[in-house]
Every structure is written in C-alpha cells, then in structure tokens.
C-alpha cells in the first residue's frame, strides 16, 4: 500500500530534550516536506526536500532541522524543543512536477512542557 508513515504518532516531552520525528514513504517520491498545523493558523511549511541531499527552508524553519540521506526518509529534528513547538506535525511526499498529488502522513501530535 502506498503510504507516508510517521513515528511517533504522539509525543510528550520536556523543554530542551532533543527529539526526532521520523517520516518514511514507499512511493519513490523525490519531493518530501514537513508542516506544522496550529489552530487558527492552518498548515505552515517547515522544510522541504526536492531530492536526496537537497533541502530548503519553508515558512517557519526556526528551531527545526532536517536531513535527506535516503530518498524514502526525511526525519524532522528538534535539537532543543520549546513549548511554542507544541503542534500537530505532518510529513508529505510527492513526485516531481507541479501537478503531482501530495500525500500526507497521519500526523504527529507533539506536546512540549
């Protein structure tokens, strides 16, 4: 089954404790992206990657890191999480080309206390 998977689905952590949210896709997609979704603000892009070893900042990259060492994986790293990073996070992937459908993962609900 074609899908985007994220782990963990739920995470409660404390300020300053480094964490990684994994994202993996099995559709051989070149493009992958991370978003956060907050009430009243909608989805906002954090980082995206056009291909292996190619990443770029989205609208809200501060406090986040990403890497793209393999085509299928695109982990999101929070080196020192803060309470304002409490949010619902989505990973997405698509093929190249502007009209390729974008597939979203199931989401990771992160709470930073």
Partner 1 sequence: KNQVEQSPQSLIILEGKNCTLQCNYTVSPFSNLRWYKQDTGRGPVSLTIMTFSENTKSNGRYTATLDADTKQSSLHITASQLSDSASYICVVSAGGNQAGTALIFGKGTTLSVSS
Binding site for partner 1 (CB under 8 A): 4, 30-31, 33, 40-45, 48, 50, 88, 90, 92, 94-107
Indicate the residue among 24 and 94 with the shorter CB distance to partner 1: 94
Indicate the residue among 97 and 113 with the shorter CB distance to partner 1: 97
Biggest distance spanned by C-alpha atoms of the chain: 40
- Closest C-alpha to 28, from 68, 90, 66, 73: 73
CB of 109 to partner 1, least distance (A): 8
SS3 of 108, please?
strand
Q: Tell how strand 76-78 and strand 65-66 pair up.
A: antiparallel
CB of 80 to partner 1, least distance (A): 27
Indicate the residue among 40 and 62 with the shorter CB distance to partner 1: 40
- Tell me the C-alpha distance between 70 and 80, whole Å: 24
């Amino acid at each position: 089954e074609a899908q985007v998977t994220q782990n963990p689905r739920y995470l409660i952590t404390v300020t300053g404790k480094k964490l990684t949210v994994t994202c993996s896709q099995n559709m051989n997609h070149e493009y992958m992206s991370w978003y956060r979704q907050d009430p009243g603000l909608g989805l906002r892009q954090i980082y995206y990657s056009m291909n292996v070893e190619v990443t770029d900042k989205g609208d809200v990259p501060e406090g986040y890191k990403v890497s793209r060492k393999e085509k299928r994986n695109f982990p999101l790293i929070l080196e020192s999480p803060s309470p304002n990073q409490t949010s619902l996070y989505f990973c997405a992937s698509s093929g190249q080309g502007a009209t390729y459908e974008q597939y979203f993962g199931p989401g990771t609900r992160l709470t930073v206390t």
